[in-house]
Amino acid sequence: MLLSSVATALSVALALHIRGASARAGEWKRAAVPNYWFSFGDSYTQTGFDPNAAAPSGANPFGNPPYPGWTATGGENWVGYLTTKMNNSLLYTYNYAYGGATIDANLVTPYQPTVLSLTDQVNQFLNGVGRKPTSIPIGSPNSLYSIWIGINDIGNSWYQSGDRAAFSDTLLNAQFALVQKLVIISYSDVGARNFLFVNVPCIDRSPLMLAQPASSQAGEKAVIQGYNAKLAAKIDAFRASHAGVKTFLWDSYTTFSTILDNPTAYGFVDATSYGSAANLFWGNDYHPGSSAHKFFAQAVDDILAKTVW
């Protein structure tokens, strides 16, 4: 697994520097041939992309809306940093992520019925770009698919009765059924081959949860850790059963924990305050701010350092 490599990257890169901020920044403007990133997720990833509006281009590798988009706390998020600064090439990003998303609204109800779940996002892709337009090489070796989901699934259900471990299996089975939809056409050389998965961070340490009883924090933490262990196993099994498919895992749980355990080492005043200041990890009581997202992007950048992205 890549868990150990992520931890190493954190201990070396995050505490010391933002790798390539000067050497790699702006390379997307100079490159001639784009690589592609198809992103799915929730508010931790959203930028407000509308697949029916302007497509990514050299003028705006995000396509729409104007950079940095509509992020959860304002400013650049990890997708923005990676698309425009921390990359190996010109990167066109189709970011289908939608704030409040769960894996499937039939399994965990989102906070509003208009929220596009991961299921909706994947179908949106399959019914649009996924129809294989010749101008967008969705199945080529230079196309990356990322999924950061599960935060709202756990946040909206961890406290419910029943076997939470079994429910985590249900959630992950639904997620990987969608992954299978993306990859199944890869055997005709037009589907997804490269996947970046992200596990659930320690949202039990968010200001929102810190205002709750310690028993609630412990309960959510246990569900998160169990879910993440199952996700890692699911990724291993998926990779083993799909020849030609590559997988990457960003262990966001470790990234968050490392920073929150020693926030001042990363330029943050503490692990609990929130607001718009650059020296605050949390942008609001549940979402990290733009400064924190720079470290998230760095962790992913290190994982993808030897790829075309």
Given a contact cutoff of 8 angstroms between Cβ atoms, the answer to whether 235 and 245 are in contact is: no
The rounded distance, in Å, linking the Cα atoms of 2 and 13 is 16
pLDDT of residue 191: 66
Backbone phi, psi, residue 89, to 5°: -170, 180
What does each of the 309 residues of the chain score in pLDDT, given as a tens digit?
333 333 333 433 443 333 333 334 344 444 568 999 999 999 999 999 999 999 999 889 999 999 999 999 999 999 999 999 999 999 999 999 999 999 999 999 999 999 999 999 999 999 999 887 677 878 788 899 999 999 999 999 999 999 999 999 999 999 999 999 998 754 444 568 899 999 999 999 999 999 999 999 999 999 999 999 999 999 999 999 998 899 999 999 999 999 999 999 999 999 999 999 999 999 999 999 999 999 999 999 999 999 999
The rounded distance, in Å, linking the Cα atoms of 236 and 247 is 9
Given a contact cutoff of 8 angstroms between Cβ atoms, the answer to whether 294 and 281 are in contact is: no
Which class does domain 17-204+221-252 fall in?
Answer: alpha beta
- How do residues 61-120 score in pLDDT, each as one tens digit? 999 999 999 999 999 999 999 999 999 999 999 999 999 999 999 999 999 999 999 999
Backbone phi, psi, residue 41, to 5°: 165, -150
Largest CA distance in the chain: 54
**How far is CA 211 from each of CA 107, 204, 205, 208, 286, rounded to the nearest angstrom?**
27, 10, 10, 6, 11
pLDDT of residue 298: 98
The rounded distance, in Å, linking the Cα atoms of 36 and 47 is 16
The candidate with the shortest Cα–Cα distance to 186, out of 244, 133, 135, is 244
The candidate with the shortest Cα–Cα distance to 139, out of 105, 206, 189, is 189
| Cβ burial 270-309 (10 Å sphere, 16+ → b, else e) | ebbebeeeeebbbbbebbbbbbbbbbbbbbbbbbbeebbb
The rounded distance, in Å, linking the Cα atoms of 26 and 89 is 9
